Amino acid sequence: MLLITRRTNESIVINDNIEVTVVEVRGGRVKLGFEFPEGNTVYRKELYLKIQEENKTAASSQGDISKLLSSIKNKE
């Protein structure tokens, strides 16, 4: 893990196109601002982990997909 010390209104740049700025530091909390190209996605880590978990669960439930395909074929 890379650790960088920054003060309020100081920034870091990642891969030439992502800028992270320290907007405010107050009471043990840090407010960050992000500038990045349109089309990129940013998630809070806890939400990102939940999305990954849900995707793994959905990918492993093959039985449900077979039932769905079967019901579609029966309607045709």
Tens-digit pLDDT profile for residues 21-48 = 999 999 999 999 999 999 999 999 999 9
Q: What's the CA gap between 66 and 49, in Å, rounded? A: 27
pTM of the model: 0.66
Quote the domain boundaries for residue 7: 1-40
Tell whether 32 and 58 lie within a shared domain.
no
pLDDT above 90 coverage of the chain, percent: 70
Helices (H), ranges, the chain: 45-60, 62-75
Do 35 and 49 reside in the same domain of the chain? no
- Supply the pLDDT for residue 57: 85
* 53 in the same domain as 30: no
pLDDT at 60: 78
Question: Is 6 buried (19+), middle (13-18) or exposed (0-12) by CB count in 10 A?
Answer: middle
User: How far is residue 49's CA from residue 55's CA, in Å, rounded to a whole number?
Assistant: 10
Q: How many distinct structural domains can be found in the chain?
A: 2
Q: Are residues 35 and 1 in the same domain?
A: yes
Helix/strand/coil for 65:
helix
Residues 2 and 36 in one domain: yes
